[in-house]
């Protein structure tokens, strides 16, 4: 069996940095190496020491770049790769005008398969190796999502959305078919290789109470599945939800009443929260998913990271493509920094890079497998070039500390800073990827 030795500057977090000076929170090795064998990290340390562990290993020299764990995105929509950058609407109009029509195309399994290839190409090009993703309502879209992840040996979590009202007919399941299809997908995929299933009622507006009952039944039957949905993203969405569920104490109560909250539950956005909802998040251990590029793009609002953290709530961070405007977790950190600035909060680069690696992994309960570079974990690795552009190289001439370098990546970095991405030890730039067919240059209408 061939072993691979990756040489570079190694950075991996052991815990969330308590502050800028918390050097115990991470491992940083200037002339470091990772020994990769059989998809796993077999050694990590100083280059000469790790090299001596496997003298026959194939050496890949990534100096002067940084070797970090692959990034983790905790909220993204696989059927929205062609919705990103759709102009001029806030949430409910955006869904009705652009998103729902686009998702109807995923009834065609060939389209879903082509888009799954394009989706994973984008994730790995941006350094993301694991994502928690929404598929379309169609069972075959989730099959395409998991089949392509399996082909690439990626640790992916996803589920078909359950939605039985307030959307075009072509996108509706029923309480019963939503349950049956989800169950069939769980049986087919959950725990198969690196795949995990997420029970996925889209949001309260598109599910009847009967459907949420069925989603709750699935959670009770499969307690080790994840749950994902949306919460309190937009004021009109909240008002509509309250009109549909008049007996609920608040928006979160709709999900709570149906047994959908627990430490494996991820709630996209969670912006406009009432005090009782915050109490319920703290009590149940559910995770808000902060989606900064999306929240700015749709004009949704400012996520109160510090307020929730002070209550012991563990927030994850995510792109929310296609309302999110970039697949890059670096660009996500850039916008997160600005959203927190507007509220007098601050995101230090050490905490930021912990968040998109070990932090999101810990929220998922998967830090034993992904999100660090510990020996024995999966070799999902990103190689970061902090001088990827002229502007970055110029700025880097004046950077003196690791934190300064990380901040340059946090603010200026994107896919150009991803020199390589390894999935289970395999360099993705070498994997022959079947890309979505390039369209001929289209004739564009003028309006």
Kindly write out the interface string for residues 295-324 of this chain, putting x where it contacts Fe ion by CB under 5 A and - elsewhere.
-------------------------x----
Which residues are bridge partners to 58 per DSSP? 4
Q: Judge residue 188's burial from the number of C-beta atoms within 10 Å of its C-beta, 0-12 exposed, 13-18 middle, 19 or more buried.
A: middle
Site string for ligand GUN, 195-224 (x = CB under 6 A): -------xx---------------------
Q: How far is CA 288 from CA 125, 316, 435, in A?
A: 26, 6, 33
- Residue 202 interface partner, choices Fe ion, ligand GUN, none, CB cut-off 5-8 Å depending on type: ligand GUN
CB of 16: closest distance to ligand GUN in angstroms?
27
Nearer to ligand GUN, 33 or 131 (CB): 131
Dihedral pair phi/psi, residue 14, rounded to 5°: -100, -25
Q: How far is the CB of 75 from Fe ion (least distance, A)?
A: 6
300-313 burial, b if ≥16 CB within 10 A, otherwise e?
bbbbbbeebeeeeb
CB atoms within 10 A of CB 368: 13
Residue nearest ligand GUN by beta-carbon distance: 323
Among 77, 113, 196, 387, binds ligand GUN (CB under 6 A): 77
Check binding of 102 to ligand GUN (CB under 6 A). no
Compute the chain's Rg from CA coordinates: 21
Name which of 127 and 268 has its Cβ closer to Fe ion: 268
8 A C-beta contact, residue 133 and residue 144: no
Binding positions for ligand GUN, 113-172, rule CB under 6 A = none
Nearer to ligand GUN, 51 or 107 (CB): 107
Q: State the CB neighbour count (10 A cutoff) for residue 75.
A: 29
Using CB under 5 A as the criterion, what x/- string covers residues 236-275 for binding Fe ion? Answer: --------------------------------x-------
**Interatomic CA distance for residues 351 and 357, integer angstroms:** 10
Q: Pick the binder of ligand GUN from 99, 331, 334, 377 (CB under 6 A).
A: 99
Which lies closer to ligand GUN via its Cβ, residue 73 or residue 233? 233
Verify binding: residue 73, ligand GUN, rule CB under 6 A: no
CB nearer to ligand GUN: give 289 or 406. Answer: 289
Q: Is residue 325 at the binding interface for ligand GUN, with CB under 6 A as the rule?
A: no
- The candidate with the shortest Cα–Cα distance to 417, out of 437, 395, 434, 432, is 395
Stretch that binds ligand GUN, among 91-99, 151-159, 182-190, 362-370 (CB under 6 A): 91-99
Q: Which of 125, 73, 118 is nearest to 388 (CA)?
A: 125
272 binds ligand GUN, rule: CB under 6 A: no
**Residue 351 touching ligand GUN (CB under 6 A):** no
Tracing tokens 């920094």 back to the chain, one arrives at 337
Distances (CA, A) of 386 to 63, 335, 355, 407: 12, 18, 19, 10
The answer to whether 323 contacts ligand GUN (rule: CB under 6 A) is yes
Size of the site for Fe ion (CB under 5 A): 2
Least Å from the CB of residue 99 to ligand GUN: 5
**CB count in 10 Å sphere of residue 70:** 29
Contact of 288 with 316, CB cutoff 8 Å: yes
Query: Which residues in this chain contact ligand GUN in the complex, by CB under 6 A?
Result: 77, 91, 95, 99, 202-203, 230, 233, 294, 320, 323
């Amino acid at each position: 069996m061939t072993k691979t030795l990756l040489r570079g500057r190694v950075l991996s977090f052991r815990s969330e940095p308590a502050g800028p000076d918390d050097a115990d929170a991470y491992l940083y090795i200037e002339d470091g190496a990772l020994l990769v064998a059989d998809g796993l990290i077999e050694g990590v340390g100083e280059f000469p020491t790790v090299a001596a562990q496997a003298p026959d290993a194939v050496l890949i020299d990534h100096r002067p770049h940084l070797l970090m764990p692959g990034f983790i995105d905790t909220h993204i929509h696989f059927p929205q790769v062609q919705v990103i950058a759709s102009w001029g609407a806030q949430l409910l109009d955006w869904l009705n005008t652009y998103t729902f029509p686009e998702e109807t195309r995923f009834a065609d399994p060939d389209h879903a398969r082509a888009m799954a290839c394009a989706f994973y190409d984008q994730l790995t090009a941006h350094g993301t190796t694991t994502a928690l993703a929404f598929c379309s309502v169609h069972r075959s879209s989730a099959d395409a999502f998991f089949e392509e992840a399996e082909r690439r040996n990626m640790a992916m979590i996803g589920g078909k959305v359950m939605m039985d009202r307030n959307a075009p007919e072509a996108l509706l399941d029923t309480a019963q078919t939503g349950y049956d299809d989800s169950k069939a997908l769980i049986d087919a995929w959950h725990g198969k290789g690196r795949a995990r299933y997420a029970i996925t009622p889209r949001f309260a507006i598109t599910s009847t109470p009967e459907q949420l009952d069925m989603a709750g039944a699935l959670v009770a039957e499969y307690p080790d599945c994840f749950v994902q949905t949306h919460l309190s993203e937009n004021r009109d969405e909240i008002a509509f939800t309250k009109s549909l569920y008049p007996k609920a104490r608040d928006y979160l109560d709709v999900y709570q009443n149906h047994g959908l909250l627990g430490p494996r539950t991820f709630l996209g956005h969670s912006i406009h929260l009432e005090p009782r909802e915050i109490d319920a998040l703290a009590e149940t251990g559910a995770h808000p998913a902060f989606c900064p590029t999306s929240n700015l793009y749709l004009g949704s609002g400012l996520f109160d990271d510090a307020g929730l953290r002070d209550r012991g709530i563990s927030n994850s961070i995510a792109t929310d493509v296609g309302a999110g405007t970039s697949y890059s977790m670096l660009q996500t950190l850039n916008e997160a920094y600005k959203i927190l600035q507007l509220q007098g909060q601050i995101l230090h680069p050490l905490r930021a890079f912990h968040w998109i690696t070990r932090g999101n992994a810990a929220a998922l309960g998967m830090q034993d497998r992904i999100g660090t570079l510990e020996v024995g974990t999966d070799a999902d690795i990103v190689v970061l070039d902090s001088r990827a552009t002229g502007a970055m190289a110029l700025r880097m001439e004046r950077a003196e500390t690791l934190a300064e370098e990380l901040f340059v990546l946090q603010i200026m970095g994107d896919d150009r800073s991803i020199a390589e991405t390894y999935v289970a030890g395999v360099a993705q730039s070498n994997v022959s990827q079947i890309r979505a067919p390039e369209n001929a240059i289209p004739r564009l209408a003028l309006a």
